[in-house]
Homo-oligomer: A and B are copies of this chain.
Amino acid sequence: MKIAVLTGGGDCPGLNAVIRGVVRKGVQEYGFECVGLRDGWLGALRDKVTPLGVADVRGILTRGGTVLGSSRTNPFSHEDGVGRIRETLDAHGVDALVVIGGEDTLGAATELSHQGINLVGVPKTIDNDVAGTDYTFGFDTAVTIATEAVDRLHTTAESHMRTMVVEVMGRHSGWIALHAGVAGGANVILVPERPFDIDQVCGWVRDRFRIESAPVVVVAEGAVPLEGQMVLKDRSHDEYGHVRLSGIGEWLTREIEKRTGTEARTTVLGHVQRGGTPSAFDRWLATRFGLHAADAVAEGDFGTMVALRGTEITRVPLDSTRGRTKVVDPSLYEEFAVFYG
């Protein structure tokens, strides 16, 4: 049996660990031949195929990014994308695909699976918002980096008695913000799932100064204030039709300064959250995902995605995860209410 592996979407710590897991188990246990498709779906469309043996995955466990390259290419926005993918797979005698990616990549995988391509999905996103799995790999690394940043910003906040606003990743979900905010002891945590009241935020900020301490605010990039609290020129709409601010962190900082008359500063963490060596947790999870994806292929259990449930790796139908962003439940957000302010 011959299998191909591809990684799609934004890079994420742990991608290489998955690839290594698939190849080691596939080759050593099941006798598969493995190849890689370069740059996500692009490699499948343009016949960019590379050998992927046990020697090729040696030493990649600890490396961030993906040795296969990635892209945001969607096969369905290319003419006869499906046909071209089929051609590539046929030309190389590939029997099955292992597709490692987030919502968009797995969405395309689901569609291709419906059209008869044998594949198994592996959920990847530092945002942790893929439905059907307790956690995605890359998330723990992102939270770890964001938490270290929050730790560092506390001392700056205290020394200057100013508010430090830190904007973390999370366009549609607030998992990173909530986890890093709780782990870092932030005083305000703002998530996309729950439009925030800027007056309440400023109240929390004032509360903090009142006890001779200085606030740290963690805000997900996709968080938005209540309707009416932004003036029009501040906002726009993103490709999903959601209200988007260019730089919610900056906006918050300006509003806090204006409304409370105290100093505030912004830090936008950006890409450092998604690069570099994966955390121990992410290497463990990604490795297991890779091993189990090889199992699923060996069993012919296609159209599925490997997933974490508790401490077990399970499989769920790709269909069941489609179009369902996993968001932060209001009750979970409220669990930490005693820390706000």
Contacts and interface: CB of A to CB of B under 8 A. Distances in A.
A70 interface: yes
Interface string A143-177: 11111110111111011110010000000000000
A81 interface: no
A185 B64 CA distance: 15
Given A159-B11, A270-B268, A338-B291, A147 B65 contact: no
A198 to B, nearest CB: 22
Interface stretch (A82-90, A108-116, A280-288): A280-288
Copies of this chain: 4
A310 interface: yes
Contacts of A155: 11, 13, 63-65, 275-276
Interface of A: 7, 10-11, 13, 15, 24-25, 28-29, 39, 58, 61-66, 69-71, 134-135, 140, 143-149, 151-156, 158-161, 164, 179-180, 182-185, 213, 265-272, 274-277, 279-281, 283-284, 287-288, 291, 309-311, 335-339
Given A143-B284, A147-B280, 17 more contacts: A7-B159, A24-B338, A25-B338, A61-B185, A64-B152, A66-B159, A134-B311, A146-B280, A152-B271, A164-B271, A183-B283, A183-B284, A265-B271, A266-B270, A267-B272, A268-B268, A288-B335
27 contacts: A11-B156, A13-B155, A24-B338, A25-B338, A28-B338, A61-B185, A64-B156, A69-B160, A69-B161, A70-B160, A140-B280, A144-B279, A144-B280, A147-B280, A155-B276, A180-B280, A182-B287, A183-B283, A265-B270, A265-B271, A266-B270, A267-B270, A267-B272, A268-B270, A269-B272, A291-B336, A309-B310
